[in-house]
């Protein structure tokens, strides 16, 4: 296993960085403040093949993997233009459908997901079932050849710009009668499907929503994969979510670090650039070290996932998300501190990141649940819940 990037990956990284630089943080923050979507950036990223770089070539994708998609996420975030829907649409939904969908589902959804012409949201969290996905109450019941889906979801990203939502629900097992996890593709224009925006103190073009599924009638082919294996299918989509969450955090950390370093080189007090002082230099250097360690763990997770080792990827994917969140939140705070009052001005564009990067500690999985995973599965400690 080697984390030395190939020439092709280096070229992809450079091309995505150029696209991010073309739009930049000002574009992203303008969209956030004016309640606009990053439509132009999303379309160009799709036209260049970046959005579907991980999806199979036979369905219009790039034929690469999560390693390459994490490069796309990291470089866009490092340019101040991180696209949250990259985590959801091609990484979670695209991977799940590519691996477990029927041939008809793949033909219907993957080409559009790969080009960016179709966007799919992902609905797992519920008001009374946050981190505990085993307590999901959204339920699908059979009605002849169709499904009827009822329930609620909360903190679902980008539903207003999505064509469909991959909903995590539950169905009754034929053998035992117990409720088992199941994945349904629900078009956002389906009758009985409604959503409301959740007010958030975040400057982000991609908004959060609460979903209501009131006896939504779906065709038989809305169910993805084998209903008896839905739990393993679900976790196969959550590893990419954690990898992309790490990539986003690493990119934001890089963006903040670049701003702080440029300022520390230029800002002179008492005839000396402030970057010459260890009180400024050392925290930034430590942040760089921690970012690079998180990035290595992310690359390990992506490499294992792309090799088909779902369980082997689970530990590094969780660790990468944890490490990236810790490093980036600390580094953004240090960058603001380095700039002093300028760190809170609109001109330098760091202040909005204080809230945005903090999400990394909470979503897509909280730092405490990552520590639970490591404690129980890696260290073999007794389960705490």
Q: Is the confidence at residue 331, as pLDDT, over 60? A: yes
Range name among 2-6, 220-224, 338-342 with the lowest pLDDT average: 2-6
Q: What percent of the chain has pLDDT over 90?
A: 88
Q: Is the confidence at residue 79, as pLDDT, over 70? A: yes
Per residue in 179-233, pLDDT tens?
Answer: 778 999 999 999 999 999 999 998 899 999 999 999 999 999 999 987 666 667 8
Between 58 and 229, the more confident residue is 58
Note whether 211 and 166 are within 8 A (CB): no
Q: How far apart are CA 110 and CA 143, in angstroms?
A: 28
Pick the closest to residue 322 from 234, 235, 378, 245 (CA basis): 245
Summary mean pLDDT of the chain = 94
**What pLDDT is recorded for position 174?**
55
Confidence of residue 237 (pLDDT cuts 50, 70, 90): confident
Mean pLDDT of 145-166: 97
Confidence of residue 315 (pLDDT cuts 50, 70, 90): very high
Per residue in 12-33, pLDDT tens?
Answer: 999 999 999 999 999 999 999 9
Note whether 97 and 54 are within 8 A (CB): no
**What pLDDT is recorded for position 258?**
98
Per residue in 116-127, pLDDT tens?
Answer: 999 999 999 999
Note whether 156 and 196 are within 8 A (CB): no
Residue 259 has what DSSP assignment?
H
Q: What percent of the chain has pLDDT over 70?
A: 95
Per residue in 165-185, pLDDT tens?
Answer: 999 998 876 556 567 789 999
Q: Is the confidence at residue 259, as pLDDT, over 90? A: yes
**What pLDDT is recorded for position 232?**
74
**What pLDDT is recorded for position 173?**
62
Q: How far apart are CA 47 and CA 281, in angstroms?
A: 41
Query: What's the burial of 202, exposed, middle or buried (CB within 10 Å: 0-12/13-18/19+)?
Result: middle
Note whether 343 and 335 are within 8 A (CB): yes
Q: Whose structure tokens read 């992902």?
A: 122
Q: How does strand 164-172 pair with strand 120-123?
A: parallel
Which residues are registered as beta bridge partners of 180? 171
Q: How far apart are CA 82 and CA 98, in angstroms?
A: 24
**What pLDDT is recorded for position 293?**
98
Q: How far apart are CA 259 and CA 334, in angstroms?
A: 11
Q: What are phi and psi of 63, to 5 degrees?
A: 75, 15
Angle at 346 between CA 345 and CA 352, to 5 degrees: 95
**What pLDDT is recorded for position 165?**
98
């Amino acid at each position: 296993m080697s984390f030395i990037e190939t020439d092709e990956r280096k070229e992809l990284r450079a091309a995505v960085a150029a696209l991010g630089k073309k739009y930049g943080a000002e574009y992203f923050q303008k969209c956030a403040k004016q309640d606009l979507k990053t439509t132009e950036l999303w379309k160009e990223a799709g036209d260049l093949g970046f959005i579907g770089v991980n999806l199979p070539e036979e369905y219009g994708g790039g034929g690469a993997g999560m390693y390459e998609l994490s490069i796309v996420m990291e470089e866009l975030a490092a340019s101040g233009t991180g696209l949250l829907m990259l985590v959801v649409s091609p990484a979670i939904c695209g991977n799940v459908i590519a691996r477990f969908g029927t041939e008809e589902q793949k033909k219907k959804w993957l080409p559009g997901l790969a080009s960016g012409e179709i966007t799919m949201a992902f609905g797992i969290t519920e008001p009374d079932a946050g981190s505990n996905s085993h307590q999901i109450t959204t339920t699908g019941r059979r009605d002849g050849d169709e499904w009827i889906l009822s329930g609620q979801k909360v903190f679902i990203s980008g539903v207003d710009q999505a064509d469909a939502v991959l909903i995590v629900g539950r169905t009754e097992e034929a053998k035992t009668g117990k409720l088992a996890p199941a994945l349904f593709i629900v078009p956002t224009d389906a009758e009985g499907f409604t959503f409301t925006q959740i007010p958030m103190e975040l400057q982000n073009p991609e908004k959060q929503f609460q979903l209501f599924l009131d006896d939504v009638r779906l065709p038989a082919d809305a169910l993805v994969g084998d209903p008896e294996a839905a739990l393993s299918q679900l976790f196969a989509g959550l590893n990419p979510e954690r990898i992309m969450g790490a990539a986003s955090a690493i990119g934001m950390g890089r963006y903040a670090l670049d701003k702080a370093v440029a300022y520390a080189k230029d800002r002179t007090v008492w005839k000396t650039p402030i970057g010459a002082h260890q009180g400024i230099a050392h925290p930034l250097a430590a942040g760089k070290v921690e970012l690079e360690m998180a990035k290595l763990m992310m690359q390990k997770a992506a490499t294992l996932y792309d090799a088909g080792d779902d369980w082997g990827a689970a530990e590094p994917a969780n660790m990468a998300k944890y490490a990236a969140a810790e490093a980036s939140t600390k580094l953004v705070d240090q960058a603001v501190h380095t700039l002093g009052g300028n760190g809170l001005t609109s001109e330098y564009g760091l202040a909005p990141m204080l809230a945005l990067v903090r999400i990394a500690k909470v979503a897509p999985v909280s730092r405490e649940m990552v520590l639970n995973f490591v404690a129980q599965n890696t260290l073999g400690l007794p389960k705490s819940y």
